Structure 1
Amino acid sequence: MRTALLLATLLTACAAKTGASGDTIALLQRMFAEDPGSPAVLYTFARVREDVGDYPGALAWLAQLERSEFDDAIDPEDFRGSLRRPEVRAIAGRLAARARVRTASAVALTIDVPELMPEGHAYDPRRDRFLLSSGRQRKVVAVDRAGRAADLTRSGQDGLLAVLGMKVDVTRDWVWVASTHAPFMADPSPEARGHSTIHAFDLATGETRAAVPYARTPSLLNDLDLAADGTVYATDSHSGAVISVRDGELRDVLPPGSFEGPNGLALAPDGEQLYVADFRGLHRVALASGSISSLRPPTGARTLGGIDGLYFHDGALIGVQNILGRGRVWRLPLAADGTLAAAEILETGRADYRNPTTGTFADGDFYYLANPRSRSGEPLRLLRLPLSARARA
């Protein structure tokens, strides 16, 4: 979830509407010095100024964004104050005019669950239902093919915090979830501030099967993936670490500082490579050695920073990018050496996008929510994105 989670990592004060810390500004300035034309950095700097009410400052950074190779429209929700200025509206109009538009998805379901604030998304094949995590209500909700929702877990069950990433363990018939303390969750307790947990719940009964606390604080366990041997991998978006859980033991796979705001991650089918998305872009990790290789964006992808959900599908990575602009879904085929061979935008420019985040696979296609950050009274819309070559053509 872009506003409250990824920016809470890199722009903690900004997300709290107070003012960016010196460390935050220093980080952005370093990134800007390394790549002055980075759309992710320019967009985020504009948001920093917007969130403290410095609208002339936001205008200046948006002007630089327009001069960069940014090819998406800005999200109006990100710049409500600045858009009252005619100069900003003019920039927004010009960006919208050159933005790419591709709307290949159809609405599969509408889901009416108020105040859910979903972030994680999974599919339960045994019962043919979708699972949504609730950041606000601290629970997991199951949704059938008719859009009917029912709680799988209780709110706050066995210490459950704001629920973020999730993954179905088909072998055990469990769902693994990452949860973290967040100011927007129901009943936030001062004692839990900065804490995160990894839970597993029985898909048949909703009972807790595992609850593994993360000793490092402050932390923000965010997204996760599952290996064939049952090992769970998760990103800590606060410290920059990647952790694993196996047989109830939690350990570092990569130490703090390895990444800057890591979010989505995807384990390669061979189980030997882990792909991690952070603020800067995509990285490949050789699990045997722990070595990290940053992947160069292919032609057609100026930046791959800020990808939230990240998945393997048919020799390619599928990524939902939402740190800048209105959001888009990428297909990134991999070369034989594990690098990125090409970049294809599957979906972008939808009028109903409200911070699309994570997704899941069912029926051979990709399902994800168009509007997790839905407006009051607006039902959630689950989109079905065809992934076959014929359907994409």
Structure 2
Amino acid sequence: MITIVVRAAPLALAALLASLPAAAQETAPDTATAASDSTWREHYEAGEAARRAGDWGTWRYALVRVREQIGYHPSIVLNLARADARLGRTEDAVEWLRAYAATGLTSDVAADSALESIRSAPGWDAIAERIAANARPVGAAQVAFTLPDSAFVPEGVAFDPRTGRFFLSSLRHGGIATYSPAGGWTEFVPPRRDGQWSMLAVAADTLTRTLWATTAASPLFSGYQPADSGRSSLLAYDMDTGALRRRYEPQGDGRHTLGDMAVAPDGTVYVSDADQGVVYRLERGATEMEPFAAEGLVSPQGIAVAADGRRLYVADYVRGIAIVDRQSSEVEWVQAADSVAISGVDGLVRAGRGLIALQNGVTPKRVVYLELDAAGRTVTGWRALESGTPLLTQPTHAVVVGGELFFIPDSGWERIGDDGAVKPGMVLEPAHVMRMALP
């Protein structure tokens, strides 16, 4: 993730789809129901009102409508199991749980009061055991290097093949550091030198020797001022000297959080704005970013350029993964079975014909490989590359270097509260960069 403030939008929206279990009846005509042509958010809100009123039939109806519009979010699958259990639809509830188990995610279903009525149903024991087993650690990634400063709190990572240096951005200090096995650690962009705040994503354009970085004002930044809240910028640095070449501001009023980005082969930079639900485009040589894609996007995060160069994959923290045509800016969505969880994705990189997603909005936290069909539009298979391992506490961004993936598993941003102070009972510890072979 990026920061508490930067992530406030995706976290709040993801919470929309993670309601609590409650108590039961088939219908309640006096509970408001959203119109059939309402948006998924309106359906969700109507469903939550019904859930709080104990109107399980209307809650289920709303969940189905949400699912029709945004796909099988894992929280929808789990809540449909809860709603059907409350309604006495035991077989349906068990099938929803079976689908949830297949996502590789975990939940304490044995202690979930909404599911109490189906615990003696055929298949329950095997499903509950599988959901519990999903919490077991998976993976064999190795530590590539460790950051020397426990308060650095990294978010983004990039690589320069010419010099062999890794670039890491700091949420806490607001600077950028470099690391190489030969040269060790070096300060690349000093904190606050260029009026920056928390430094988020970094991306290397080796042709123009430009290191792109996004920055946003957030309480994670040690120099945060409330008056700066909602401000964000895209910065272009000379990759060799660290000098700031140019600063780009997003257009439009309101809060902005320029978080993740990707550089296309032609040098065009695409930047996601988690607050505005838009992807900006900055063409090589242009002086301003322009809004590029927004239709249907809720909280865009990581961006990866497709192998054909004509499309972008954009991780939406709530909805899954969008496909954006680079010419028309038209948005469609990667299709996946209800047993595939592709929400809660922060970092996203392409690996061959597939995608590698870093999910910090699911339990357990994980790094997954998503196999795509020949058209690049449907997930045909998936597997966890790293899941639930001790260091995988808050995975953020990754970069492909040769045949390996280097990623940040434990940024540490979740240890800092909205007031900018380390949360009681927690301490900041040195973060790591891990490495694993590409699938």
TM-score by length of 2: 0.70
Among 206, 210, 235, which residue is 1:170 paired with?
A: 206
Among 370, 374, 377, which residue is 2:409 paired with?
A: 370
Change (3 A) 1:288 1:327: same
List alignment gaps of at least 5 residues for structure 1: 16-23, 45-63, 75-82, 389-393
Which one-letter code corresponds to 1:269 in the other structure?
A
CA distance in 1, matches of 2:196, 2:129: 43
Of 96-105 and 115-124, the range deviating more from structure 2 = 96-105
Which one-letter code corresponds to 1:234 in the other structure?
V
- Once the two structures are superposed, residues 74-113 of structure 1 have per-residue CA deviations (whole angstroms, 9 ceiling, x without a partner) of 6xxxxxxxx9xx958xx99985434354212111212221
Residue 229 of structure 1 pairs with residue 280 of structure 2: no
Which one-letter code corresponds to 2:387 in the other structure?
T
- Once the two structures are superposed, residues 262-298 of structure 1 have per-residue CA deviations (whole angstroms, 9 ceiling, x without a partner) of 1111112332111111111111111222221111125
Residue 250 of structure 1 pairs with residue 289 of structure 2: yes
- Corresponding residue for residue 74 of structure 2: 39
Q: Where in structure 2 are the equivalents of 1:1-393 lying within 5 Å? A: 1=1, 4=4, 7-11=7-11, 29=45, 32-33=63-64, 34-35=66-67, 38-40=73-75, 68-69=100-101, 71-73=104-106, 95-99=131-135, 101-145=137-181, 148-216=184-252, 217-246=254-283, 247-255=286-294, 258-278=296-316, 279-298=318-337, 301-340=339-378, 341-373=380-412, 376=427, 378-388=429-439
> Identity of aligned pairs, percent?
28
Which one-letter code corresponds to 2:255 in the other structure?
P
List alignment gaps of at least 5 residues for structure 2: 16-39, 48-61, 80-95, 116-127, 416-425
- Once the two structures are superposed, residues 7-37 of structure 1 have per-residue CA deviations (whole angstroms, 9 ceiling, x without a partner) of 411345999xxxxxxxx98685478452397
Which one-letter code corresponds to 1:225 in the other structure?
A
8 A Cα contact 1:326 1:355, kept in partner:
no
**RMSD of the alignment, in Å?**
3.3
Q: CA shift at 1:159, angstroms?
A: 2.5
Which one-letter code corresponds to 1:367 in the other structure?
F
CA distance in 1, matches of 2:362, 2:43: 17
Q: Which has the larger radius of gyration?
A: 2
Which one-letter code corresponds to 1:287 in the other structure?
R
Of 237-246 and 144-153, the range deviating more from structure 2 = 144-153
8 A Cα contact 2:365 2:388, kept in partner:
yes
- Corresponding residue for residue 61 of structure 1: none
Change (3 A) 1:187 1:377: closer
8 A Cα contact 1:137 1:162, kept in partner:
yes
CA distance in 2, matches of 1:8, 1:149: 32
SS at match of 1:198: strand
CA distance in 2, matches of 1:42, 1:7: 24
8 A Cα contact 1:138 1:155, kept in partner:
yes
8 A Cα contact 2:174 2:199, kept in partner:
yes
TM-score by length of 1: 0.78
- Once the two structures are superposed, residues 348-388 of structure 1 have per-residue CA deviations (whole angstroms, 9 ceiling, x without a partner) of 12122111111112232001122111763532222111115
Change (3 A) 1:202 1:296: same
Which one-letter code corresponds to 1:214 in the other structure?
P
CA distance in 1, matches of 2:372, 2:131: 30
SS at match of 1:264: strand
Of 151-160 and 259-268, the range deviating more from structure 2 = 151-160
CA distance in 1, matches of 2:154, 2:280: 23
Which one-letter code corresponds to 1:351 in the other structure?
P
- Once the two structures are superposed, residues 143-173 of structure 1 have per-residue CA deviations (whole angstroms, 9 ceiling, x without a partner) of 2227932211021232222111111110122
CA distance in 1, matches of 2:130, 2:310: 44
